[in-house]
Amino acid sequence: MTVRIGVNARTFTEAQPGGAVQAAMKLTRTIHERRSVELLLFGHESIRTDFPDIPVVSNYYFRPTQSFGVAWERTVLPWLAKHHDIDVLFCPNGNSPLTPQPYPVVTCIHDVNALNGFTNGLHSLYRKATVPIVARISDHIVTVSSFSKSEIVDKLDVQSDTVSVVYNGVDDFYYGSDNYSTIDVPKRYILYVGSVNYRKNISRAIEAFTRFANDSAAEYKFVLVGPRNKSIFNKLNISEDDRIVSLGFLSQPELKFVYTNAAVLLYPSLYEGFGLPPLEAMACGTPVIVSNTTSFPEIIGDAGEQVDPHDVDSIASGIDAVLSDSHYRQQLIERGRNRSFRFKWNRSAEQLLDVIENTTSEKQ
């Protein structure tokens, strides 16, 4: 029996998608390749370029802007889904309808960082207002770690058995032998990959790098990669330093090249529901330094150097521990590579399809 799955693909229009959106897109592609599945994407017509083999329903989606898209997914999408004979609606970025629907709804809530104060402005207010409703309306919730599941159950007051953990995966591309790029990188550098916001802890990371670099005999630079990083110094309110290099948003081949040639990935995030960059770096054979909080002990374990994200000295000591001891660094590389194999998109897709099929059968 073929399951007809509608996917809320509103977020897939983002020009520089963050980790959660990239994960949603990869999971959607992987599901499309699986057993007895028929997909239908609800989103702007521009996503046909990235998903040429999957039908796209874009009625009344006139502008691919975030504000228009949010209004569209809350008003038009539920109606479209109802009239396209889907068995279930999958909402991969916590963006499900806000009212009960005649079809089952499975929603992925990656984390509850907005409810914990890690976002601000209109986005924070919007997420605080809608995520609790989404959690109540959804027939089932999937999330990306046991840490996030515990947070969702606690903060959103939902039953534990209505939340399933489906880990993100590492793209097979990062294991391939191809590794070339025209992008220029420093000879020695410490790498950060991700967005620039408070919870990513960039200011402390830079301060820790500066302390390490000032005491190091070797010359290192700090390379930042991610969406809209060009105004890095203004955003973080720090003094410019020619040892800090911002490369902005990179293509996947460029990112693989930057991962592979880095001395270490530094990722001392204050709050993370999963955290893809450390696993991608590990797949590329690069050791990682991560926080000892939130999802990192669960996802990374002893395959990375763990530090206190609130303590600059701890972060700086972590950098020194990895880069001053070649034996330990090689241990982390080997552990990291082996750990990354545990997280595969094929496995994620199968787990999600099990959740979807169980949810669909329960509502029939």
Kindly report, residue by residue over 88-107, the tens digit of the pLDDT.
999 999 999 999 999 999 99
What average pLDDT is seen over the chain?
91
Which alpha helices (DSSP H) does the chain contain, by range? 19-32, 66-82, 121-137, 146-156, 202-215, 232-236, 252-261, 276-283, 296-299, 312-323, 326-340, 345-363
Number of other CB atoms surrounding residue 345 within 10 Å? 20
Domain co-membership, 148 together with 224: no
Closest C-alpha among 269, 314, 10 to residue 147: 269
Q: CATH number of the domain that 136 lies in?
A: 3.40.50.2000
Domain co-membership, 177 together with 38: no
Domain co-membership, 258 together with 329: yes
Domain co-membership, 26 together with 157: yes
**pLDDT tens digit string along 191-216?**
999 988 888 999 999 999 999 999 88
**pLDDT tens digit string along 302-356?**
999 999 999 999 999 999 999 999 999 999 999 999 999 999 999 999 999 999 9
Domain co-membership, 334 together with 276: yes
Q: What value does the mean pLDDT take over residues 216-227?
A: 90
Note the pLDDT of residue 188.
96
pLDDT at 257 over 50: yes
**pLDDT tens digit string along 129-158?**
899 999 999 999 999 999 999 999 999 989
Note the pLDDT of residue 233.
47
Element containing residue 141 per DSSP (H, E): strand 140-143
* Helix orientation angle between 202-215 and 312-323, rounded to the nearest 10 degrees: 50
Q: What value does the mean pLDDT take over residues 37-48?
A: 95
Token pair 């509850």 in the structure block, residue: 112
The rounded distance, in Å, linking the Cα atoms of 219 and 147 is 38
Domain co-membership, 302 together with 314: yes
Closest C-alpha among 311, 350, 263, 323 to residue 35: 350
Note the pLDDT of residue 5.
96
pTM for this model (two decimals): 0.92
Domain co-membership, 109 together with 177: no
Domain co-membership, 154 together with 223: no
Residue 238 binned pLDDT confidence (cut-offs 50, 70, 90): low
Domain co-membership, 269 together with 207: yes
Could you list the residue range(s) of the whole structural domain that residue 84 is in? 3-169+344-363
Closest C-alpha among 233, 184, 187 to residue 206: 233
- How many domains does the chain fold into? 2
Note the pLDDT of residue 281.
98
Domain co-membership, 178 together with 264: yes
Domain co-membership, 178 together with 158: no
Domain co-membership, 51 together with 71: yes
